Structure 1
Amino acid sequence: MTSDTTDPTPPADPVFGPGTRVLVTGAASGLGAAITAAARARGAQVLATDRDGDDLAEHEGEGIARLDITSDDDWAAAVAWVERRWGALDVLVNNAGVAGGGRLDQAGLDEWQWLFDVNVFGMVRGVRAFTPMLKQHGGHVVDVASLAALVHPAGMASYNAAKAAVLAFTETVGHELASYGVTAHAVCPSYFRTNLMDSLRGRDTAIAQVMSRLVTDSPVSAEDVAEAVLAGVEAGEELILPDPAARAAYRMKVDDRSAYDGVMRHQAARLEQLSTVTTSEEQA
């Protein structure tokens, strides 16, 4: 038996479907490369950019175009390219970023400045550059933050603060541009396997060891996170927690603050122990 009733509401077009115009920063490797591949597999047109790519003014194909997110000139060139080739942008993925950290008496202000220049102001530059276009056409802003925006382990004050700033910025973008048909999404993954540690700077060798081990040992790949990001955007999630560890850690903080504080302070004590061992080995 067949039904003679039909659903009067057609399904919405997928955000990353054929014809969607997407710009991804930090696309040469890691999560940026995985998001680029996943979006292209769904039929999207992707302008994949990275600091070490080819000249954007001459970029025509599906290679990597140069975009240094700390350069206003590079962002202006990206806007000009999109206007010339596509006319508008549907999804801006601010993925490019760097790793850092260090305990309060170890990390220098130069390290703090570098982290904020790249991870915060690079993203701010990109959104500001594309805001006039987004106001005209609507779209999505996807900012890759970190679980560190929500859960704040010891030894990572600079990174935690930078990623928390990204989260606050993204929420503000979503509120300010909502009336123009723009949705902003903050992505907050836990540790996953990527080459982010290649960018790590800092004097605190103990925290560098901890972070590198957590990345290397993670069961979650960049491809896993990329698929969760695309699914979250298409589901309209403004806070995307793309892996089980991120969801569990954030839920603990929300549901049982005393347990969360206990875990964070235990980790801080272990970091101090590791630092003592590391210092002794370096002096031997």
Structure 2
Amino acid sequence: MRVLVTGAASGLGAALSDAFEARGDEVLRTDVVAESGFEMLAGARSSTTEGTSVVEEGEERARLETTRPTMKLDVTSDEDWAAARGWVEQEWGGLDVLVNNAGVAGGGRLDVATLDEWQWITEINLFGAVRGTRTFVPMFKSQRSGHIVNIASLAGLVHPAGMASYNAVKAAVVALSETTGHELASYDVRCSVVCPSYFRTNLIDGMRGSDEALGAVIGQLIESSPFSAADIAAAVLEGMERGEDVIIPDEAAREAWKLKQNDRRGYDAVMRKQAARLDRMG
């Protein structure tokens, strides 16, 4: 299969790219970083939009690794999306899977987070997926095949205090995904949305926001998670194989979603306890 992954230089994007390649798929790894910023394999590397050649260090330094295509793609840029579509058309002649993974961490209590922070996270986390979807839907319709995978979050289903902007954009990605699946079903194009809980990743490194207390809490949750990006990636591919429209890839996320569905009073009590703890932190 031919797969395009956004935000693929690190974290879940890199893990998903590795997982697709491990099963024999062709993957175009894209990210807002310049091509030379991709850290896909250990060793020295040179990179262009046509591929990345990797020479391992040590005794096998002279051995050339398999070429892997990478491309700069800022998901907020219409020009970058058009360039990605052009590359796919020229090099592959079509696309089987689009993974809208690129995203940023943010949030903050309602009276702390600024409107600039709201606009920043919305432009990347929501409109990044919208732009990617709009870019490739005509191709998928023409092919009468394809699969769009949008990486949302458990925050798209369960909404903790202090995270209004993040919750809102991830809930919007869930809604976008459901709508996409309905709209494209007659063209045999699928759409799945992925809603993981906290897992170990570098997402917190780029977190932006005025609410320092929230940042501390999120950082602790990520660091203490038993799940790695590779764990989540493996579960995503399994969910795709099972034909799931909503992929909840880890047990913690499934338990939280189950609590909200089956015991709303208990769920609200947990959420409000967390809100009170955040207020105590300042």
TM-score (norm 2): 0.89
- Rounded to whole Å, the distance in 1 between the matches of 2:49 and 2:277 is 51
Aligned residue number for residue 85 of structure 1: 91
- AA aligned to 1:72 is D
Q: 1:102-132 deviations in whole A, cap 9, x for unaligned?
A: 0000000000000000000011001000011
Contact 1:57–1:81 under 8 Å retained in 2: no
- Rounded to whole Å, the distance in 2 between the matches of 1:198 and 1:182 is 35
The reply on whether 1:165 has 2:179 as its aligned counterpart is: no
State the SS of the aligned residue for 2:281: helix
Contact 1:57–1:77 under 8 Å retained in 2: no
- Rounded to whole Å, the distance in 1 between the matches of 2:146 and 2:35 is 26
- Rounded to whole Å, the distance in 2 between the matches of 1:199 and 1:218 is 18
Alignment equivalent of 2:14, drawn from 33, 36, 40: 33
Pick the structure with greater CA Rg: 1
The reply on whether 1:196 has 2:177 as its aligned counterpart is: no
Distance apart, 1:54 and its partner CA? 2.5
Over the aligned positions, Cα root-mean-square deviation in angstroms equals 1.2
State the SS of the aligned residue for 1:227: helix
Distance apart, 1:161 and its partner CA? 0.2
- Rounded to whole Å, the distance in 1 between the matches of 2:207 and 2:253 is 21
Contact 2:48–2:70 under 8 Å retained in 1: no
Aligned residue number for residue 194 of structure 2: 187
Cα distance, 1:96–1:58 mapped onto 2, change above 3 Å: closer
- Structure 2 residue runs without a partner (length 5+): 37-46, 52-66
State the SS of the aligned residue for 1:186: strand
Matched residue count: 256
TM-score (norm 1): 0.88
- 1:4-15 map, 5 Å: none
State the SS of the aligned residue for 2:35: coil
Aligned residue number for residue 51 of structure 1: 32
- Rounded to whole Å, the distance in 2 between the matches of 1:54 and 1:214 is 31
Aligned residue number for residue 55 of structure 2: none
- Rounded to whole Å, the distance in 2 between the matches of 1:199 and 1:183 is 31
- Rounded to whole Å, the distance in 2 between the matches of 1:76 and 1:45 is 20
- Rounded to whole Å, the distance in 2 between the matches of 1:155 and 1:46 is 36
Distance apart, 1:57 and its partner CA? 8.1
- AA aligned to 2:254 is R
Contact 2:4–2:30 under 8 Å retained in 1: yes
Q: 1:24-56 deviations in whole A, cap 9, x for unaligned?
A: 000000000000001000000000111113399
Aligned residue number for residue 135 of structure 2: 129
Distance apart, 1:58 and its partner CA? 3.9
Q: Percent identity?
A: 61
